[in-house]
């Protein structure tokens, strides 16, 4: 069973030290709070700068996974120059 805490003004609670020790959470970071039936669930979230959000899209992550598999299979080519790479790619 977990540690009991008191709900304070503005419905604030303190996350107990033993729980904080298990979760990498720092002061000022954001958490997601939701109700699941009669349970309150608090999850740490990582905020991504807007200009980096593209990297975390489903499509981009799928392409990264495909590329990693190709590299594991040895399907790579080393170029001696940018010019040689561009020529190979049809630029």
User: Is the pLDDT confidence value at 65 over 80?
Assistant: yes
Nearest alpha carbon to residue 43 among 34, 32, 27, 28? 32
- Note the pLDDT of residue 2: 82
| pLDDT tens digits for range 19-52 | 999 998 899 999 999 999 999 999 999 889 999 9
Q: What per-residue confidence (pLDDT) applies to 44?
A: 92
Name the residue ranges covered by the structural domains of the chain: 9-44, 50-89
Q: How far apart are CA 26 and CA 46, in angstroms?
A: 11
For 28, the token pair is 């000022």
pLDDT greater than 80 at residue 1: no
């Amino acid at each position: 069973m977990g540690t009991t805490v008191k709900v304070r003004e503005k419905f604030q609670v303190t996350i107990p030290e033993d729980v904080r020790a298990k979760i990498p959470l720092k002061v000022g970071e954001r958490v997601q709070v939701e109700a699941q039936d009669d349970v309150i669930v608090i999850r740490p979230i990582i905020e991504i700068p807007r200009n980096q959000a593209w990297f975390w899209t489903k499509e981009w992550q799928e392409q990264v996974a495909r590329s990693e598999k190709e590299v594991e299979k040895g399907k790579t080519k080393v170029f001696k120059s940018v010019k040689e790479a561009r020529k190979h790619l049809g630029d």
